[in-house]
Structure 1
């Protein structure tokens, strides 16, 4: 017994050390950890099922409060003009452009296939009864017709599916192209108010869903309308008295669907809105995972994401319940047509009003009519959901692009680099009650090196945004070489400006492409290397395994190295105006030294002269500039060189002292 116990203990130890056991243990630990944030399944279902609702089962009645979506619509839907099916079809038809022939070819194949298929029940019944009556010639003739119709139907159905699938692919492509073009040409203020997750959701899932309108829903509706109409004509020719109850049932189905379809449209629109919000939270969390991990806020982020999933489940359960009710009504009414056909048809046979062959044809066409009605209703429901879900796409496509991209501005013969701001005031569109700049006046001479300093929130970076014409001043005017900035050709003007921001943003491409990104002229390898040397980046780039061909990755380069590549990008443009916005804020001492050397080299470079504007809070990097502008609360409070401002004993002097004390106090 002791030997058996020892073997059991050894087996347990070896099992615990096995990879499978360790993986299962980790998985179980994760499940227990996640359960701290997620309630058990039944409780979760009950919570979502009855959330924000009272009144017991009475609220679940067809017109009860359980179905009400208005509270979520009010919280998550922005006001917009509702898009009707006709509006959506007109806009999508225009997007198809010169490829409409594909749609027409598909519609032609659709019509032939639908007529072929709807002819089959009559011929099928005739062939069966001709065989039953011993009429071999009629039987073989009907059989040959069935085979021909089968081949025609198969070929045309395949052609129809292929044409509309191609049209769907082209429509998705054009929708995304046009929407993307509208987005990239919007004012910067638009991106201040929209989230990246929401916009990518519109470009992805919403455009894909909207393409189903023509690529899937409409052509299936047309096919089933043709087949249903053919079935109805055959029913009326066979026996119009028997057809009336079937028509009444079809009308009742249409009434029920009109209620169900509108509910589905509203629910689909909300689902797309909530999906966009959930995607935004997920994207934000995954992009900032290092911050999340450092602060240990995985649970909080999980809770934020789960909140949107709860809202989606709230809508989804009601959508599913509505779909269940619709299917219940449909099945009851559908089976009713079969029962009525047999009962009424049997009575007609007894009274010799119809023959058995006629009743057989009637039952087959009755089945076809109800099936076609169901498919029309089902595809109409999908159509309404697609249109309702994608109102935001049309809303974005209705936005007018920024005027600055399409207005024909002035191109100066040569940009000298004189900048003048006269009584400039500004507030952000999303915060109109918070003034950022107030009656600001500043003049920068060509080839002058000017530093702008001040406390955080004093308006330094906003001033740069106005110079780049990312925003328009609320009041006042900005002049470049004596010409109002808004009268200059914006593309030409930005070609003459080099900009390096606080956070160096590099694209997922090789270093060479990152350096020449946005350069308005063709450049050679020597030019790229020259710019990298000017930015003190050539040495570390050359040490990389693939040199300038190295693909930039988030973990490949340090912040200082990225910043020097960004500076090389700005230098390569050979700009008349160079703006460095907090370019040294996140740098270590070595990288800061290199940036100071870059500034010194640019200032004394004989190859070209330029106006340089430096925004910084690292005051040690700007002691040798021509002029220092000190800002506070959106105003200029001091101006002069380093020594002059120190003698004044004002804000600049206090900032210098505060920085010196912080350096001394560091261990």
Structure 2
């Protein structure tokens, strides 16, 4: 008996180890597949999804999947084998008693299936509510300075508590369902014992079975019904895992963006000429709002073009279309005469240097941030050269560890982050340099230095490239070859700084207003 027990322990230990390894591989591959699927979605996908929700799917939901193999399937398999063996032995001992026990276990199994389906739905709701609460917490903590300044701690706590109350409500109903399932098991378990004693006693009196056989029957019937219980309990847990992971599998099934699915054209040489031909655009998340209307614009190689206008006039949207973050609703964008949608998207973006309005730096050292996205081999000398061009070298050297300093939100000012982002764009040696409000966080001296960069880009033959600038500060773009003025999603004026002042249109009014504001 000891040897049999010892052998069982070893077999269960080996099985547990195998399931544990399978579980680890499953969770790892699930997270990799989900993360890969998310990275390859269109930008419009992220307009409708929140970061907190997606990170919750990657974290809690994927971990929930681990219960499927690591615990649930493991125990379900074991108890099915044990219960099946017990049932076969019961039928050998007494077919009538065995059939009665089988009917009771079947009833318990039917209740188990209904309860499992309920748990699946409840688990999906729990994961959705949990993701929403995580999203609120992430948003609040990332904007904690704004919350503190406006004194809205109680309001944010109330938003978070609202989701916690919904979570508590669902959990309460889950507990009630578990209580009913537990009551059903206990009732049927005792019913099995009563039936076994009554029918077994009658069979003993009629000489159909012996007292020893009845004792064995009662012991094995308990084993069978407890195995059924464990199968039901683990099946319920399995259904919870399936419900919780439903959203994960939906996200994993998303097809990659068409930009990555098809391989486009790679031009042998990029001159930097681009055109917008009758381009109109509406954001997928706001299909009723027309952002651009019949825009026609041609930018020549090595030309510095500035786009200005009031907020919401469509300036940044033009950049988004040029970066192919979105596709035009109507019209097309041409690069050196080729439709942008026919070009290889990775090849195209490698040849663009982009600095956004609010440049985001990664939590890595300064040198790595500057080299980020640069696919050619660059050394530290190249990094420092780019930093000097962006007038960032001096303040970087003043940091605790110079270029090896780990970037932190509190460590750098907005202007310093923008200069690092400009250095990152310059290091790529792009054919097209896009500065989207890239001087908005710079002080007067830094802005003057960046103007020097623009002048160098414009005049140095070695740095010749097409430059597109979007700016609210009109002083930044006075030396541009051409200034494009936008209003209401349309181009309303175009010319040099002096030509537009003579026209006395929107650009002239904006210039006067900024001059009055400075005065």
TM-score range, shorter chain: over 0.9
Unaligned residue ranges in structure 2 (runs of 5+)? none
Answering whether residue 423 of structure 2 is matched by residue 592 of structure 1, we say: no
Alignment map for 1:330-369 (pairs within 5 Å): 330-369=185-224
Structure 2 CA distance, aligned partners of 1:636 and 1:426?
14
Q: Identify the residue that residue 10 of structure 1 maps to in structure 2.
A: none
Q: Identify the residue that residue 501 of structure 1 maps to in structure 2.
A: 356
Answering whether residue 496 of structure 2 is matched by residue 635 of structure 1, we say: no
Unaligned residue ranges in structure 1 (runs of 5+)? 1-145
2:97 pairs with 233, 239, 242, which one? Answer: 242
1:180 pairs with 24, 27, 35, which one? Answer: 35
Q: Identify the residue that residue 11 of structure 2 maps to in structure 1.
A: 156
Alignment map for 1:77-116 (pairs within 5 Å): none
1:350, distance to aligned residue in structure 2 (A): 3.6
TM-score calculated relative to the size of structure 2:
0.98
Deviation string for 1:329-368 (max 9, x for gaps)? 1111112212332333233334432223212211111111
Q: Identify the residue that residue 455 of structure 1 maps to in structure 2.
A: 310
Structure 2 CA distance, aligned partners of 1:241 and 1:495?
77
Structure 2 CA distance, aligned partners of 1:318 and 1:589?
61
Alignment map for 1:145-544 (pairs within 5 Å): 146-544=1-399
TM-score calculated relative to the size of structure 1:
0.77
* Partner SS, residue 406 of structure 2: coil
* Partner SS, residue 607 of structure 1: helix
1:529, distance to aligned residue in structure 2 (A): 0.5
Q: Identify the residue that residue 17 of structure 1 maps to in structure 2.
A: none
Structure 2 CA distance, aligned partners of 1:459 and 1:606?
32
Q: Which stretch shows the higher mean deviation, 305-314 or 505-514?
A: 305-314
Report if aligned partners of 2:278, 2:331 keep a CA contact under 8 Å in 1. yes
1:158, distance to aligned residue in structure 2 (A): 0.5
Structure 2 CA distance, aligned partners of 1:327 and 1:551?
55
Structure 2 CA distance, aligned partners of 1:558 and 1:374?
61
Structure 2 CA distance, aligned partners of 1:548 and 1:606?
29
Alignment map for 1:533-612 (pairs within 5 Å): 533-612=388-467
Structure 2 CA distance, aligned partners of 1:364 and 1:605?
92
Structure 2 CA distance, aligned partners of 1:157 and 1:326?
28
> Larger C-alpha radius of gyration, 1 or 2?
1
Deviation string for 1:123-151 (max 9, x for gaps)? xxxxxxxxxxxxxxxxxxxxxxx122111
1:292, distance to aligned residue in structure 2 (A): 0.4
| Structure 1 vs Structure 2 CA RMSD | 1.1
Structure of greater relative contact order (alpha carbons < 8 Å, 6+ residues apart): 2
Structure 1 CA distance, aligned partners of 2:281 and 2:213?
82
Q: Which stretch shows the higher mean deviation, 628-637 or 542-551?
A: 542-551
* Partner SS, residue 639 of structure 1: strand
Matched residue pairs, number? 519
1:395, distance to aligned residue in structure 2 (A): 1.2
1:527, distance to aligned residue in structure 2 (A): 0.4
Structure 2 CA distance, aligned partners of 1:483 and 1:357?
90
1:504, distance to aligned residue in structure 2 (A): 1.3
Report if aligned partners of 2:279, 2:330 keep a CA contact under 8 Å in 1. yes
1:653, distance to aligned residue in structure 2 (A): 0.4
1:612, distance to aligned residue in structure 2 (A): 0.4
Structure 2 CA distance, aligned partners of 1:404 and 1:608?
30
* Partner SS, residue 502 of structure 2: helix
Structure 2 CA distance, aligned partners of 1:520 and 1:443?
29
Alignment map for 1:18-33 (pairs within 5 Å): none
* Partner SS, residue 659 of structure 1: helix
1:399, distance to aligned residue in structure 2 (A): 1.2
Structure 2 CA distance, aligned partners of 1:603 and 1:166?
59
Structure 2 CA distance, aligned partners of 1:280 and 1:366?
50
Q: Identify the residue that residue 651 of structure 1 maps to in structure 2.
A: 506
Structure 2 CA distance, aligned partners of 1:238 and 1:421?
85
